[in-house]
Structures are given as structure tokens and as C-alpha cells.
């Protein structure tokens, strides 16, 4: 290899760069001097004003756009997603699963060296969540999570010599530049006085701040010696219980605490009824099975991510929650819907 080529900055492409994960990833990666960061998104005007790297606008459903992204890239950080907290299977398949699988195929064909998928700690069965390499479990009632598991499964079959497939199973997002997530859904519902404790609120709530997500992605991009398929759980420096988070919201913001507790089976059944009723009304369900699933007892930690990637989270969940609540006070005058807006269709 020539000295000139050896000094070439690594081309790192971040899909979904205007979203919560993607924006934090771009800012973290631009701190590395040997990276040429490419922010791939549908609308470059939505990127963080702090980002000063290359911008490529387009839609991942467009084969020409995907080809532009993978050509000459060393690493793909796939942070783009269309998500819903219930139902909408056909939209999730068309807007998230299918373009993600197509991007994976294009990346492998282009000889990409590393493909990093943004996954979730909830992708594994709770009993096996500690092992981020364990196959995911598609619950069947939440199409978005089913599709995350499908993409992870496809990554396992696309491993090639010199190409590492990395799944980052992240905890629950908190922090600035938020999108569809825990706090925007939980806070308005707490105000209704109708939200119960689930299992007494004693299960872990693995929150992770946006800046720690960006840092974890930067470590996954730069880690030496990765090969094959590797999964990592990525959470904050300490994991509160659901009760701790709600008590914090009650103390700091005067939000009502739940008055009673229900077990998981009853909460799951009630959420299923709410989803069914929502088919007959123009409103989102009050609660969904996906939210109950996220509250289950996932015992995860950062041990593997620390050992292999050198990931050491720094942001206390209380600080991240405080900053997100301040942003929500400005951005969210009414309750957030449980479905992301549908993007305009491109001709195919």
C-alpha cells in the first residue's frame, strides 16, 4: 500500500444522520481526525448545525442512493429507521426492513470492512439479554422489533473475510434531539393519573444518553481486530429501576406517581386490548405491548463493550433526562404520537 493511500481518511457513512442516534454519531465521529464522515439523510437541513462533514441526501429505498453511499466507504453505521410502537407492519417492512436489507447486500457487494447496525437491548429474550451475541427473539406483536431481529439475523449470514458485522444493542434513549422514545410517550400519560406501576416498578430501565451512544459508535468504528458477527449491549454508567425514573420525574417536575401496580401478564393483555380498540378510533392506543416489553427485566451491562471496544459511558441518566425534559417543554406542546410520520414516496 502506498504512503498516500495509507494516510487516506477512513470514509464513515452514517445513515439516518438527522435522527437522534445518527446526529450523536456524526458529532462523535467528527472528533476523530482520521475519519471522513458522511451524513446520509433525507433532508440535510435537519442536521445538527455543529456537523461540518459531507452530506448526501437521498432515500435508502433508492438503489442509486444506496450505491452512492457504499462506494468507497470503509464503514456503514446504519442508524436510519422508520419506527412505530405498535402495528403498521407493512409500513415497517417497506420503510425500514427492506431498505436495510438492501443496504446490507449493497455494502457486502462493495467490499465494506464494517457494517454497524443500531439495535436494542430488547431484541433478545429477557433471560438471554446479557449475551448480546445471542440470537434475537421476534415477539410477533411489534413489527419494528421483529424487523430489527430480522436484520441482525441477515447480518450473521453476510459475514465475509475482512468484513465485520457489528450489532449495538442500545438501551432506552434519553437526551437532546430526541425522537420517538420513552419520555415523550411516558410523560403525557403520567399526567393522566392512569398509568400503573408494572411489577411494582422494580425492573431495570437501561437508559442511555445520546452522547454516550455517539461515543459507543465511535468506539465500534475504531476498534481493532473485529471480525465475524459481534453484538454488544450499550447502556449508561448505571441502570435505574423504572420506579427510580418515575420518582425522579415526580420530584423534579411534579408528575403524578402511579397509584397501583399490575403484573406483566395483566399489563400485556390490557395493552393488547388498547391496540385493538385503536383500530376503531383515530387515536393512538393509551398503552402498547411494545412499551410493556421494554419494561421487562432485561439484565444487561457494558462488560463486553468495555473489554472489547473500550466503551466507558459518562453521562448520568438524571442529567440526560433533565436536558430532554427541557427540550420537550419547547418542542412538544401536545402528546407525541406512537408512529413516525410517513415519508413521501419516491418513484421506484
pLDDT in tens, 24-47: 999 999 998 899 999 999 999 999
CA distance 229 to 82: 24
Does residue 279 carry a pLDDT above 80? yes
Spatial CA neighbour of 115 closest among 65, 74, 80, 66: 74
Is 171 in contact with 207 (CB distance < 8 Å)? yes
| Strand, coil or helix: 170 | strand
CA distance 77 to 112: 11
Q: Give the angle subtended at the CA of 203 by the CAs of 274 and 21, to the nearest 5°.
A: 75
CA distance 286 to 133: 34
Question: How far is CA 302 from each of CA 129, 189, 231, 244, rounded to the nearest angstrom?
Answer: 12, 31, 11, 20
Spatial CA neighbour of 87 closest among 341, 295, 338: 338
Backbone φ, ψ for residue 49 (5° rounding): -65, -15
pLDDT for residue 320: 97
The residue among 69 and 335 whose pLDDT is bigger is: 69
* 54 found inside a domain: yes
* 262 found inside a domain: no
CA distance 138 to 141: 8
* 94 found inside a domain: yes
* 13 found inside a domain: yes
pLDDT for residue 345: 53
* 67 found inside a domain: yes
Average pLDDT over residues 154-160: 96
pLDDT for residue 33: 81
* 339 found inside a domain: no
Joined grid coordinates for residue 34? 482520521
Does residue 4 carry a pLDDT above 50? no
**What single-letter DSSP state applies at residue 312?**
-
Helix 210-222 × helix 20-29 angle, to 10° = 60
Q: 142 lies in which domain range?
A: 3-173+206-236+298-315
Does residue 242 carry a pLDDT above 60? yes
Query: Average pLDDT of the chain?
Result: 93
pLDDT band for position 6 (50/70/90)? low
252: left (phi over 0), alpha (psi -120 to 50) or beta: alpha
Q: Cell 455494502 identifies what position?
A: 107
pLDDT band for position 17 (50/70/90)? very high
pLDDT for residue 127: 87
Does residue 173 carry a pLDDT above 70? yes
* 265 found inside a domain: no
Look at the chain and report how many structural domains it folds into.
1
Question: How far is CA 15 from each of CA 56, 89, 218, rounded to the nearest angstrom?
Answer: 9, 22, 14
pLDDT for residue 3: 46
User: In whole angstroms, how large is the CA radius of gyration of the chain?
Assistant: 20
* 65 found inside a domain: yes
Provide the terminal-to-terminal Cα distance of the chain, rounded to the nearest Å: 40
The CATH number assigned to the domain holding 115 equals 3.40.50.720
Q: Which residues contact 6 (CB under 8 A, 6 or more apart)?
A: none
Is 175 in contact with 328 (CB distance < 8 Å)? no
CB atoms under 10 Å from CB of 71, counted, come to 11
The residue among 128 and 8 whose pLDDT is bigger is: 128
Summarize pLDDT for 176-205 with one digit per residue, the tens: 998 888 899 999 999 998 899 999 999 999
CA distance 296 to 203: 6
Summarize pLDDT for 283-305 with one digit per residue, the tens: 889 999 999 999 998 889 999 99
Amino acid at each position: 500500500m502506498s504512503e498516500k493511500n495509507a494516510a487516506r481518511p477512513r470514509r464513515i457513512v452514517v445513515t439516518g444522520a438527522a435522527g437522534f442516534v445518527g446526529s450523536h454519531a456524526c458529532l462523535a465521529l467528527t472528533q476523530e481526525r482520521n475519519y471522513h464522515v458522511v451524513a446520509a439523510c433525507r433532508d440535510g437541513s435537519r442536521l445538527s448545525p455543529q456537523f461540518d462533514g459531507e452530506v448526501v441526501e437521498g432515500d435508502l429505498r433508492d438503489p442509486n442512493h444506496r450505491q452512492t453511499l457504499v462506494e468507497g466507504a470503509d464503514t456503514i453505521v446504519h442508524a436510519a429507521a422508520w419506527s412505530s410502537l405498535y402495528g403498521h407492519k407493512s409500513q415497517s417492512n417497506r420503510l425500514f426492513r427492506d431498505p436495510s436489507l438492501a443496504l446490507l447486500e449493497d455494502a457486502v457487494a462493495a467490499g465494506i470492512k464494517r457494517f454497524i447496525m443500531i439495535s436494542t437491548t430488547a431484541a433478545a429474550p429477557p433471560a438471554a439479554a446479557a449475551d448480546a451475541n445471542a440470537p434475537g427473539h421476534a415477539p410477533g406483536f411489534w413489527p419494528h422489533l421483529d424487523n430489527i431481529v430480522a436484520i441482525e439475523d441477515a447480518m450473521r449470514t453476510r459475514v465475509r473475510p475482512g468484513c465485520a458485522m457489528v450489532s449495538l444493542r442500545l438501551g432506552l434513549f434519553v437526551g437532546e434531539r430526541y425522537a420517538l422514545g420513552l419520555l415523550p410517550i411516558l410523560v403525557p400519560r403520567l399526567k393522566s393519573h392512569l398509568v400503573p406501576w408494572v411489577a411494582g416498578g422494580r425492573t431495570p430501565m437501561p437508559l442511555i444518553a445520546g452522547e454516550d451512544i455517539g461515543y459507543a459508535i465511535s468506539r465500534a468504528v475504531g476498534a481493532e481486530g473485529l471480525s465475524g458477527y459481534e453484538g454488544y449491549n450499550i447502556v449508561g454508567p448505571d441502570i435505574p429501576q423504572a420506579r427510580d425514573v418515575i420518582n425522579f420525574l415526580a420530584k423534579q417536575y411534579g408528575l403524578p406517581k402511579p397509584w397501583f401496580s399490575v403484573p406483566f401478564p395483566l399489563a400485556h393483555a390490557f395493552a393488547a386490548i388498547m391496540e385493538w380498540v385503536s383500530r376503531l378510533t383515530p387515536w393512538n392506543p393509551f398503552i402498547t405491548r411494545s412499551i410493556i416489553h421494554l419494561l421487562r427485566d432485561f439484565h444487561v451491562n457494558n462488560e463486553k463493550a468495555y473489554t472489547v471496544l473500550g466503551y466507558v459511558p459518562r453521562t448520568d441518566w438524571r442529567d440526560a433526562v433533565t436536558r430532554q425534559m427541557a427540550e420537550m417543554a419547547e418542542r412538544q406542546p401536545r402528546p407525541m404520537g406512537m408512529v413516525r410520520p410517513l415519508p413521501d414516496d419516491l418513484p421506484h
